[in-house]
Amino acid sequence: KAGVTQTPRYLIKTRGQQVTLSCSPISGHRSVSWYQQTPGQGLQFLFEYFSETQRNKGNFPGRFSGRQFSNSRSEMNVSTLELGDSALYLCASSSPGTGGAYEQYFGPGTRLTVT
Amino acid sequence: AQKVTQAQTEISVVEKEDVTLDCVYETRDTTYYLFWYKQPPSGELVFLIRRNSFDEQNEISGRYSWNFQKSTSSFNFTITASQVVDSAVYFCALSGSAGGTSYGKLTFGQGTILTVHP
């Protein structure tokens, strides 16, 4: 099976712009979670989607949003970018999603740099 | 609130030494899950193990072993006869749902940087 894929791998944006990151989960996985990794804050949970519904949300401002499509692919969007949004954004998928915590498989991440 | 603490920021060993990475967690959930992940220099997090709160059996997988002690809220990870390829950042993580159905949120520790010298 192919692993979790994320596009693009690298991105450079300017403050105030918006950005959309994409994640394709492992085939058959219906849960997709997003994390932000920075040197200062470490790995922080952004949100989780299952069957096109957001099930969990971390403590991030409303500028961070996401969605999931019927094929389980997910996108996250960050509007009005700030310098502090520079980070590695990781997507993870897991299966099946109804009770119990199954291991999450991570993609290679998207490295976002905001200048 | 959930919290994971990995007290060791960096560990440096020489090849073939055994090394233990400590992980202490806090949660009010009665059902929860613990994980270890490895992040090599390439950046991708690699799943190593999952343990649920009802299963305190230790586990061994090749050179890796895990010791889960609910009484001390610890889930330590030992690498026996370390190798240079073990050099990576290792993360301990916790997932709990406080009675809900979603465990999709992982709370990570700050990570331990392991360097194995030849």
Say what the pLDDT of residue B103 is: 73
Q: What span, in angstroms and rounded, lies between the C-alpha atoms of A102 and B2?
A: 18
Contact B45 A58 (CB under 8 A): no
With CA atoms as reference, report the closest residue to B95 among B109, B114, B77, B113.
Answer: B109
Residue B37 has pLDDT above 80, yes or no: yes
Contact A107 B33 (CB under 8 A): no
Structure-token pair, residue B21: 């990475």
**Amino acid in the structure at residue B50:** R
| pLDDT tens-digit profile, chain A (115 residues) | 689 999 999 999 999 999 999 999 999 888 899 999 999 999 999 999 988 999 889 999 999 999 999 999 999 999 999 999 999 999 999 886 445 567 899 999 999 999 9
Q: Check if the beta carbon of residue B107 is closer than 8 Å to that of residue B95.
A: yes
Q: What span, in angstroms and rounded, lies between the C-alpha atoms of A50 and A47?
A: 10
Question: In sequence order, what DSSP letters do the residues of B73-118 get, joined into one string?
Answer: TEEEEEESS--GGG-EEEEEEEEE-TTSS---PPEE---EEEEEE-
B103 touches chain A (CB under 8 A): yes
Per-residue pLDDT band for B87 (boundaries 50, 70, 90) equals very high
A68 CB neighbours in chain B (<8 A) are none
Peptide bond connecting A8 to the previous residue in cis, omega within 30 degrees of 0: yes
Contact A48 B105 (CB under 8 A): yes
Residue B101 has pLDDT above 60, yes or no: no
Q: What span, in angstroms and rounded, lies between the C-alpha atoms of A85 and A64?
A: 10
* Residue length of chain B: 118
Q: What span, in angstroms and rounded, lies between the C-alpha atoms of B76 and B14?
A: 20
Per-residue pLDDT band for B42 (boundaries 50, 70, 90) equals confident
Contact B105 A99 (CB under 8 A): no
Structure-token pair, residue B20: 């233990």
Q: What percent of chain B is modeled with pLDDT above 90?
A: 70
Say what the pLDDT of residue B56 is: 83
Say what the pLDDT of residue A68 is: 97
Which of A50, A103, A112 is best to mutate for the B interface (most B CBs within 10 A)?
Answer: A103
B52 CB neighbours in chain A (<8 A) are 100-101
